[in-house]
Amino acid sequence: MASTAPSVTEICLSSASPRRCDPVNQSRGTQDDESGKGKGRESRRAQRPPTPRRPPTPLPPGRPLRTLAFWVFVALLALVAYRMYQGNFMATPRLEISYTRFIQEVERGNLANLQIVDKEVSGELRVESAMRMDAHEVRFKAFKTNILGDGADLPDRVWKTNPGIEIEVRQAGFNWVSFLVTSLPILLLLPLWMVMIRQMQSGGSAALKFGKTKAKVLIETTPKVTFKDVAGCDEAKQELQEIIEFLKEPQKFQRLGGRIPKGALLLGPPGSGKTLLAKAVAGEAHVPFFSMSGSDFVEMFVGVGASRVRDLFEQGKRNAPCIIFIDEIDAVGRHRGAGLGGGHDEREQTLNQLLVEMDGFDSNEGVIMIAATNRPDVLDPALLRPGRFDRQIVVDWPDVRGREGIFRVHTRNIPVAEDVNLKRLARATPGIAGADIANMVNEAALLAARRNRKKVSMQDFEDAKDKVMLGMERKSLVMTDEERKSTAYHEAGHALVLWLLPGADPLNKVTIIPRGRMLGVTSWLPLEERHNQSKEELERRLCVAMGGRAAELLVFNHLTTGAIGDIDGATQVARNMVCRYGMSDNL
């Protein structure tokens, strides 16, 4: 078959290079090949468009002035350093002599040259002289001294005894070097001051904000606590829910002439749930909520506390209706006159401003004040009166029903085994706060995880209860057999008396495992919650407390220190029976 030359179209279809698809490029390439490789490179280099030069990046405004000021500052520092070096190291060292010795050298005609600048005289001697200084003989030729008196006739006096001497008399001008050396620390601190002032003016520094409030504002993204998360204080919840209803529907109460309460004070022991109630109010109210601690008001600077109180209530007025919560208000609301500074105490000035803001001439409509404290006895009476805190809500330790509710709240998010009896746990934990119950549930969950269990069992709760109420188990404590036997009989004495006494609570647990500071524990389970104890019940407590000591005497016929806790408890009960409860027949 005869071979035919491929057409331009076929070359374009079979080639992957876009350059070969152009007939013009093909013809140029053929010419380049015919004319030589070097010439082809020159033609291709000539066809490339010139690369545009990138314009220089403009300097930010004010940058040249800053650069010039920096180099001027560096030049001044270099000049001052050079003159200081020249004056200290390159100048001829001169010995400072007395004016009397100078007059002696003048009268001897021993001066080579002299310079008089105001009251300062310096020069050199013809012949080296000697003088005693600090018990040593010092030889010198260059000297300096100060003129005593007027000194106007000094040049004539020198020329009389030292003819032909060169005397330079001049007035001291302004010494720029001395001025720069003196002002050098200020020049060094000037850039630092400029940076600090610029930061304060930009608003990024807290130096000008020490008088502003430190209150935290609850935002929508903050995890909320509602009244469903609070148990054991139903009456307090009801009072606070009514305040929230005031904020949501004020017309419902105002149509009958009622007004919204200005403040509510939460009173109760530590851990009873006062702060948790405030968090629930913040989650339920749907209004701005400002939270602050009482200790955040007072600082070391005078007037800062009062300024922060004013700023806090100004923010509250701008965001009305709103709620302001102050935790641990006893830090700022103590009795006036109790401080070391008297009426000028900074804390008292802060309290005075707080009293004025809560109920003064200015109206604070829509701003509700909620505070919490566990020391109501130290608060100032003016702070507790109606018009400032209209409601005083007592948040006490929960009863058995409240403790059961708290257990249910804190066990909602953990897997609980079927053998867990929350009612029994509530009965076995009398007199503890809600915070202790929350800690107990958390310890039980940690124990179950440590034991590789899928659910938290009743045994985990019992161990956690003992850990929270009695202390950690002291497995490392080494006890002798005699100590262990004595502890066993001691706890058996408690248990036997508790078992035999009529009307006593049923026995719950007897153990000789050391926990905390105790070598053994005997506990009982109350059948019901008691808020008032009779004389017979207190006497039964005394009998149970002394049962361990009685068992030791009967079995071993000697006494030990193991009953120290029992004796302390029995002494306290007996003292209260006589001094506080009036149960003594002789008093």
Query: Exposed, middle or buried, 233 (CB in 10 Å: 0-12/13-18/19+)?
Result: buried
Sign of CA dihedral 210, 212, 213, 216: negative
User: Which residues are tagged catalytic?
Assistant: 491
Count of beta carbons in the 10 Å neighbourhood of residue 273: 28
Count of beta carbons in the 10 Å neighbourhood of residue 220: 6
Residue 62 Rama label (left phi>0; alpha psi -120 to 50; beta): left
C-alpha to C-alpha distance for 294 and 265, rounded to whole angstroms: 13
DSSP secondary structure, 42-82, as one string: HHHHHHSPPPPPPPPPPPPTTHHHHHHHHHHHHHHHHHHHH
Sign of CA dihedral 323, 406, 266, 351: negative
Measured in residues, the chain has a length of 587
> Which residue in the block uniquely carries the two structure tokens 């920096």?
70
Q: E strands within 192-252?
A: 216-217
> Are 399 and 433 a contacting pair, CB within 8 Å?
no
Please tell me whether residue 155 adopts helix, strand or coil conformation.
helix
C-alpha to C-alpha distance for 380 and 378, rounded to whole angstroms: 7
Question: Which residues are CB-contacts of 64 (< 8 A; sequence separation ≥ 6)?
Answer: none
Residues forming beta bridges with residue 217, ordered by sequence position: 290
Question: Which residues are CB-contacts of 393 (< 8 A; sequence separation ≥ 6)?
Answer: 235, 236, 239, 240, 264, 265, 266, 267
CA within 13 Å, CB half, 434:
27
- Dmax of the chain from CA atoms? 145
C-alpha to C-alpha distance for 250 and 260, rounded to whole angstroms: 8
Count of beta carbons in the 10 Å neighbourhood of residue 30: 10
Please tell me whether residue 23 adopts helix, strand or coil conformation.
helix
Count of beta carbons in the 10 Å neighbourhood of residue 368: 26
> Are 288 and 322 a contacting pair, CB within 8 Å?
yes
State the DSSP code for 222: S
- C-alpha pair distances (Å), 197 with each of 118, 192, 208, 407, 418: 43, 9, 10, 56, 67
